[in-house]
A and B are shown apart, each in its own frame.
Chain A
Amino acid sequence: MLKELLQNIRKDFIIEFRSRYALSVSLSFAGVSTLGIGLATAGRPLAPGVHAVLFWLIMFFSAMNGLLHIFTREEEQGTSLFLRITTAPEKVYLSKLIFNILMFLSLQLLITPLYLFFLQVEVRSLLFFLLLVPAGGLALASASTILAAIVAKSGGKGALFTVISFPLVLPLLWVAMTATGQALERPDYFDGRNLLFLLAFSGSLVAVSYLLFPYVWMEE
C-alpha cells in the first residue's frame, strides 16, 4: 500500500512541477493581496488582531485557489477513470491528502515570511506562532481535500469550492485568527488548547473523509 501511495504522490508532484499551476496561482494570490494591503495601508501599522484576520484570510483564499486543482486536473485530463480502475479509492484519497498537506505547508513556508516582511509584523510569541501556522495549514488542507473532490465532480467550479468550504473551515479560521492575534500581541504567550483544537479538527475530518471518499470518487 505504501509503495502505491508514494507512487501516486510522486506522480502528482511531477505533474505539479511540470505545470506549477497550484504553486503559481496560490503564491500570486498571496503576493498580490499582501502587496495590496501594504499599498492600501501605506506602511501605517495595523493592530495585531487585524493582521491575524488578514493573514488567515490570505491563507484561506490561497488554499481555495491552489488545492482544488488536484482533483479537477484528473477530471479535465480524463485520468480519473484510469485512477478509479487501477487504484483503490482510499489510496487515492490518502495520496491526494498527503500531497495537499505537503503542498500547502510548503506554500505557508513562502507566504508567511512574505506577509511578515512586507507588512512589518512583529511576532512576540514566535514558538507558538510557528506551531500555530502549520497546525492551521494542516486543518485547512485536511478539510479541503474531500471538498475539492466534491467540486471536481460538479464541474470544477472554483466559486462553489469557496462557498462549500467556507462554513466548514470557519471554526478553524476562527480559532487560528484569535490565537494568531494573541501570538502577535503578547510576549511568551502559549495556549495549547488552540493547537489541540486545530489538530482534533483535522483528525476528525480526515477520519470521516477517509470513510466517505469512495462515495464521491466512484460513480454509479
Chain B
Amino acid sequence: MIVLRLVYLFMPVGIILAFLYAPAERLMGEASRMLYFHVPLAWVSVLAFLIAGVASVMHLVRGDDSRNLDIKAYNSASLGFLFVVLATAAGSLWSRMAWNAFWNWDPRQSSIIILLLIYVAYFSLWNALENNPNRGRITSVYLIFAMVSMPFFVFIIPRVFLSLHPDTLINPRGTVLLGDRMKVTLMICLISFTLLYFDLFFMKNRISRMEQRLEESLDNE
C-alpha cells in the first residue's frame, strides 16, 4: 500500500525531531530523548500482539475460508517479538539512567518481560506442532487465551502495585503530560513506528504467500 511508503518520510523526520527539535527534559537531560524510541517500540510490540490476536480470532471464525490468517498471526507475532526485545532493551537503558539500575522488577518492566515470554511460548508451541494439520487452530487458541490474560498484567497489576514508571500515554487522567514540542515529536515517532510495523507486516505476508506458492508448485511437479 502506498500509504505505508510514508514510513520513509516519517522515520527520518521523527529521528531529526527527536534529536534536534524536541527540548531535553529538565531532570533527565539529553537521556530523555530515549522516550521517542522506547514508547513507540513498546506501543508497536503491544499492537503487533493485538493484531496477531485479532487475526487468530478471525482464523477460528472463518474456518476453511481463513486465507492463511494463522500465518498472518504468526508473522505479526514474529515482528512483535522483535519490537518487544528492542522496547525491553531501550527501557532498561532508560531505567539505568533514571534509577541507576538496568533492571529493578518494576511492575511495568515485569509486564513487558511477560509479553516477551508469551511470544517465546507461542513460538515454542508453533514449532512443536510443525506437522500437525491443526497447528493454525491450536496456536490461534493460545494467542487468544494470552490476549485475554494480557490486560491483567499490562493494565491491572501496575495499578495494584506501586510503580516508579511514569504514567503511560493511556493514564487515568487521559492526558499526555508533555510540552508541545515533545508531544509533536512523540506523535511523529509513534506514527513512524506504526507505519514501519505495517510495512514489514505486509512484506512478511507477501513472502509467506510466495513461499506457499513455491511449495505448492514443487509438490505438483
* Chain A contact residues, CB within 8 Å of chain B: 143, 146-147, 150, 153-155, 157, 160, 163-164, 166-168, 170-171, 174-175, 178, 193, 197, 201, 204-205, 208-209, 212, 215-216, 219-220
Q: Report chain A residues within 8 Å CB of B161.
A: 178
Of the candidates A155, A204, A205, A215, the one whose C-beta lies within 8 Å of that of B128 is A155
Please list the 5 inter-chain residue pairs (A to B) with the smallest Cβ-Cβ separation, ordered nearest first. A167-B117, A171-B152, A164-B121, A154-B128, A167-B118
Shortest distance from the beta carbon of A167 to any chain B beta carbon, whole Å: 4
Q: Please report the C-alpha to C-alpha distance between residue A91 and residue B87 in the assembled complex, in whole angstroms.
A: 42
**How would residues 147 to 160 of chain B score, 1 for a CB under 8 Å from any chain A CB and 0 otherwise?**
01100110011001
Shortest distance from the beta carbon of A156 to any chain B beta carbon, whole Å: 10
**B157→A209 contact, CB < 8 A:** no
* Chain B contact residues, CB within 8 Å of chain A: 60, 110, 114, 117-118, 120-122, 124-125, 128-129, 132-134, 137-138, 140-142, 144-146, 148-149, 152-153, 156-157, 160-161
Give the secondary structure class of B's interface: helix
Q: Report chain B residues within 8 Å CB of A167.
A: 114, 117-118, 120-121, 146
**CB contact under 8 A between A204 and B146, given known A167-B121, A216-B138:** no
Q: Please report the C-alpha to C-alpha distance between residue A147 and residue B149 in the assembled complex, in whole angstroms.
A: 13
Known contacts A155-B128, A193-B160, A205-B148; can you find 12 more A-B pairs with CB under 8 A?
A150-B142, A154-B125, A166-B117, A168-B146, A170-B117, A178-B161, A197-B152, A201-B152, A205-B149, A212-B145, A215-B140, A216-B141
Q: Please report the C-alpha to C-alpha distance between residue A201 and residue B157 in the assembled complex, in whole angstroms.
A: 12
**A154→B132 contact, CB < 8 A:** yes
Task: Name 16 A/B residue pairs within 8 A (Cβ), A-sorted.
Answer: A153-B134, A153-B138, A160-B128, A163-B120, A164-B122, A167-B120, A168-B121, A171-B114, A171-B149, A175-B157, A197-B160, A201-B149, A204-B148, A212-B141, A215-B138, A216-B137
**A164→B142 contact, CB < 8 A:** yes
Q: Please report the C-alpha to C-alpha distance between residue A204 and residue B137 in the assembled complex, in whole angstroms.
A: 20
Q: Please report the C-alpha to C-alpha distance between residue A146 and residue B152 in the assembled complex, in whole angstroms.
A: 18
**B60→A215 contact, CB < 8 A:** yes
Q: Please report the C-alpha to C-alpha distance between residue A216 and residue B56 in the assembled complex, in whole angstroms.
A: 13
**CB contact under 8 A between A146 and B128, given known A166-B121, A171-B157, A197-B160:** no
**B141→A215 contact, CB < 8 A:** yes
**B114→A170 contact, CB < 8 A:** yes
**A164→B125 contact, CB < 8 A:** yes
Q: Please report the C-alpha to C-alpha distance between residue A219 and residue B137 in the assembled complex, in whole angstroms.
A: 9
Q: Please report the C-alpha to C-alpha distance between residue A164 and residue B156 in the assembled complex, in whole angstroms.
A: 21
Shortest distance from the beta carbon of A5 to any chain B beta carbon, whole Å: 22
**CB contact under 8 A between A220 and B137, given known A170-B153, A204-B148:** yes
**A154→B157 contact, CB < 8 A:** no
Shortest distance from the beta carbon of B43 to any chain A beta carbon, whole Å: 20
**B137→A163 contact, CB < 8 A:** no
Q: Please report the C-alpha to C-alpha distance between residue A15 and residue B99 in the assembled complex, in whole angstroms.
A: 55
Q: Report chain A residues within 8 Å CB of B120.
A: 163, 167
Q: Please report the C-alpha to C-alpha distance between residue A178 and residue B60 in the assembled complex, in whole angstroms.
A: 37
